[in-house]
């Protein structure tokens, strides 16, 4: 008697699982279609719609290991003029700052680890130059550096590569 009850229960459970599986296939197919459609840069970076589009940018760094801007918006394919100014007062040897624009897809922690060993080159690792879209020199208190570069459409991370800074000194540049 128990076998007569268990067998139909197994059949029902298997048929329900099979039906659920076909629903998941159609759901994943539509999800796949959505993922392949190219999202705009403004959709991928929250708050970018509130940032003014400008290819002339001024960023300040300070002794609290902060950039005064963490989200920048530029026009892709046109020259960007970026000025970094260290407004801090601590010496360059203990609180120097730079700004490195990394290419999309670069692992920030790995890059920063390599940068730690590059004190002789302003913490710009020569082994990772292909990961860099642009960079300033390392700045001490009151110093500034102006650089010019052009970005293709995309989202770029920028960091300070001075040892220990990248964890809090980073932001995004959206080139659209």
Over the stretch 93-123, which tens digit does the pLDDT of each residue have? Answer: 999 999 999 999 999 999 999 999 999 999 9
SS (H, E, C) 44-85: HCCCHHHCCECCEEEEEECCCCCECCCEEEECCCCEEEEEEE
Q: What is the pLDDT of residue 176?
A: 96
Other CB atoms within 10 A of residue 159 CB:
24
Whether 116 contacts 124, CB under 8 Å: no
Other CB atoms within 10 A of residue 106 CB:
17
Select the more confidently predicted residue: 20 or 52.
Answer: 52
Select the more confidently predicted residue: 55 or 24.
Answer: 55
Distance between CA atoms of 173 and 74, rounded to whole angstroms? 7
Distance between CA atoms of 103 and 44, rounded to whole angstroms? 16
Residue 157's SS3 state is strand
pTM: 0.75
Over the stretch 135-144, which tens digit does the pLDDT of each residue have? Answer: 999 999 999 9
Q: 106: which DSSP letter?
A: -
């Amino acid at each position: 008697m128990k076998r007569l009850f268990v067998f139909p229960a197994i059949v029902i459970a298997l048929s329900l699982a099979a039906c659920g599986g076909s629903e998941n296939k159609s759901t994943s197919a539509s999800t796949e279609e959505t993922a392949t459609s190219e999202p705009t840069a403004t959709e991928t970076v929250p708050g970018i719609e509130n940032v003014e589009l400008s290819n002339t940018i001024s960023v300040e760094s300070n002794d609290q290991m902060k950039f005064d801007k963490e989200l920048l918006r530029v026009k892709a394919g046109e020259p960007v003029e970026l000025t970094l100014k260290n407004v801090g007062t601590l010496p360059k040897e203990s609180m120097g700052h730079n700004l490195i624009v990394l290419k999309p897809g670069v692992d920030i922690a790995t890059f920063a680890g390599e940068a730690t060993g590059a004190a002789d080159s302003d913490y710009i690792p020569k082994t990772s130059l292909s990961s860099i879209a642009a960079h300033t020199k390392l700045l001490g208190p009151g110093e500034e550096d102006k650089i010019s570069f052009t970005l293709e459409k995309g989202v770029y991370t920028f960091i300070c590569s001075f040892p220990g800074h990248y964890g809090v000194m980073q932001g995004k540049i959206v080139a659209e």
